[in-house]
């Protein structure tokens, strides 16, 4: 039966019914960054940004939930929803955890900044563990990655899963109201 259930009642090429549904694509991008495939992650992420599409109906700086395409209805690039969608929330997570590599866990914060970026300099400021957390990145073409925390070089190690250098900041350095500044240089 063609029209069984809610999805079967939707026009073809809209919402969950054969549209390009963004959630799964964003989870795939997250996996690429997590596996150390940051170049492929950036390639796929670029395809999902609304401003890279010729035909869009959502706000060009907001991540939609899906892109619809139904030739019969003349729909191509329409988005069924706008503003803070579930896909928008996943995109924010990707920017925080994988573009800037800030991964909060129970023992502290792991910094796994990707090998490939699309910017030479970057900065993000977040509240983490009741602190002001600032991460700045600068590509100086030195050929060597360094991690500094509050002006002091800290130990880094190679992570097999991530295929790159990481550093771990223990909970002990996070004191309420303190500012923690991480500088990463390449």
Mean pLDDT of 76-98: 78
Tell me what pLDDT residue 133 has.
Answer: 97
Confidence of residue 80 (pLDDT cuts 50, 70, 90): low
Residue 84 has pLDDT above 70, yes or no: no
pTM for the full model?
Answer: 0.77
- Residue 88's pLDDT is what? 77
25-29, 60-64, 108-112, 173-177 — which is least confidently predicted?
60-64
CB 105 within 8 A of CB 39: no
Q: Judge residue 154's burial from the number of C-beta atoms within 10 Å of its C-beta, 0-12 exposed, 13-18 middle, 19 or more buried.
A: middle
The predicted model gives 48-67 an average pLDDT of 68
The average confidence (pLDDT) of the chain is 86
| 181: pLDDT strictly greater than 70 | yes
Average pLDDT over residues 28-51: 89
**What is the predicted pLDDT for the residue at 25?**
85
List Cβ neighbours of 77 (8 Å cut-off, separation of 6 or more). Answer: 53, 54, 55, 56, 57, 67, 68, 69
- Whether the CB-CB separation of 136 and 151 falls below 8 Å is answered with no
pLDDT at residue 30 in the model: 92
Q: What is the pLDDT of residue 184?
A: 97
């Amino acid at each position: 039966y063609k029209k069984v259930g809610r999805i079967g009642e939707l026009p073809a090429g809209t919402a969950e019914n054969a549209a390009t549904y963004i959630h799964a694509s964003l989870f795939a991008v997250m996996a690429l960054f997590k596996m150390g495939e940051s170049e492929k992650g950036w390639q796929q992420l670029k395809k999902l940004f609304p401003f890279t599409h010729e035909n869009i109906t959502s706000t060009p700086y907001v991540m939609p939930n899906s892109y619809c395409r139904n030739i019969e209805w003349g729909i191509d690039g329409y988005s069924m929803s706008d503003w803070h969608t579930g896909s928008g929330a996943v995109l924010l997570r990707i920017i925080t955890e994988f573009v800037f590599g800030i991964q909060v866990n129970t023992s502290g914060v792991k910094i796994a900044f990707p090998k490939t970026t699309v910017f030479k300099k970057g900065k993000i400021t977040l509240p983490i563990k009741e602190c002001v957390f600032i991460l700045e990145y600068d590509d100086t073409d030195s050929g060597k990655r360094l991690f500094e925390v509050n002006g002091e070089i800290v130990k880094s190690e190679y992570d097999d899963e991530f295929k790159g250098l990481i550093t771990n900041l223990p909970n002990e350095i996070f004191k309420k109201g303190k500012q923690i500044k991480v500088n990463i240089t390449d």
